[in-house]
Amino acid sequence: MNVKPISIAALVVVPFVLFIAAGLVYQSQTGTDIVTGEKTGLAANEVGEKEFESILKNEIVVSKQDFDSHKCSGEAKCISQLITKIVDGDTIHTSNYKIRLSLVDTPEKDEPGFEKATEFTAQMCPVGSHITIDQDDLQPYDQYDRLIAHVFCEGKSLNSALLYNGLAEISTEFCITSEFADKSWAQRYGCEIESEPVSEISDCDSSYPDFCIPVIPPDLDCGDISQKRFTVLQPDPHRFDGDKDGIGCE
């Protein structure tokens, strides 16, 4: 059998092609140029240094445009998570947390409205999608170690949507212990701040019931007012009733 000798060119070209192909695969997966070491693609344009490190660790990364961090308030956790389970209308499980919606209470299992509320949450925030979680500063966790939060799905408030559609009620007992009690949706559906009744403060002196004469100061004389012969009750601070017969400025 005749065997053709392998040319020197083939020995050089084949390994080089394999090297380049491997480099392209590495670059596409990690976003790093195999020659220069610079970050490219996703790593260079869509996420920051920490997120890039997460790619190498096979952790979940959310692009900046999907993370509504501007929706958050306060100093507690502001994070984006992948939904893994819808428990009911007001409880969601994510890749790292069990989430309980702040101030919102939907029907429990076997209660009227349970299925409808649960289905609504599942449609608005489906399993596999990402949500923005704004943890409640004043009530970060409940007794079951669930993270209490205001949740946004595609930029829309789930807490507000459940209330607006009549699928939930405000947990009024927590209004005084929640960061979100002053939100418009919380105020509208049960956390409104009750204003204390303001007593009417009159600038009219009660010694002159027929019409309004200001209280002292200033001190007035009969020549300072147009009214004549009007009822005067004691103590008559303006001294309109000189003869104390109950009639002023006669």
Q: What is the pLDDT of residues 80-124, one digit of tens each?
A: 999 999 999 999 999 999 999 999 999 999 999 999 999 999 999
Q: Quick one: pLDDT at residue 198?
A: 41
Q: Is the pLDDT of residue 155 over 80?
A: yes
Domain boundary among 143, 165, 191: 191
184 and 72 both lie in a single domain: yes
- Can you tell me the mean pLDDT for 48-76? 52
DSSP 2: -
129 and 154 both lie in a single domain: yes
Residue 11 lies in a domain: no
Domain boundary among 141, 165, 191: 191
47 and 104 both lie in a single domain: no
139 and 180 both lie in a single domain: yes
The total domain count for the chain is 3
pLDDT level of residue 41 (50, 70, 90 thresholds)? very low
88 and 49 both lie in a single domain: no
76 and 106 both lie in a single domain: yes
Residue 7 lies in a domain: no
Q: Is the pLDDT of residue 227 over 70?
A: yes
Provide the residue range defining the domain that includes 25: 18-56
C-alpha span between 219 and 28 (Å, rounded):
89
Least confident of 2-6, 105-109, 171-175: 2-6
139 and 76 both lie in a single domain: yes
Count of residues for the chain?
Answer: 250
Which position has the higher pLDDT, 147 or 238? 147
149 and 45 both lie in a single domain: no
77 and 155 both lie in a single domain: yes
Q: Quick one: pLDDT at residue 181?
A: 93
Contact 249, 227 (CB under 8 A): yes
39 and 72 both lie in a single domain: no
Residue 249 lies in a domain: yes
50 and 128 both lie in a single domain: no
Residue 3 lies in a domain: no
71 and 155 both lie in a single domain: yes
Residue 162 lies in a domain: yes
* Among 105, 101, 123, 124, residue whose Cα is nearest residue 113: 105
pLDDT level of residue 23 (50, 70, 90 thresholds)? low
Which position has the higher pLDDT, 111 or 222? 111
Average of per-residue pLDDT values in the chain: 76
Task: Please state, as a whole number, how many other Cβ atoms lie within 10 Å of the Cβ of residue 72.
Answer: 18
Q: Which two tokens stand for residue 165?
A: 């559609």
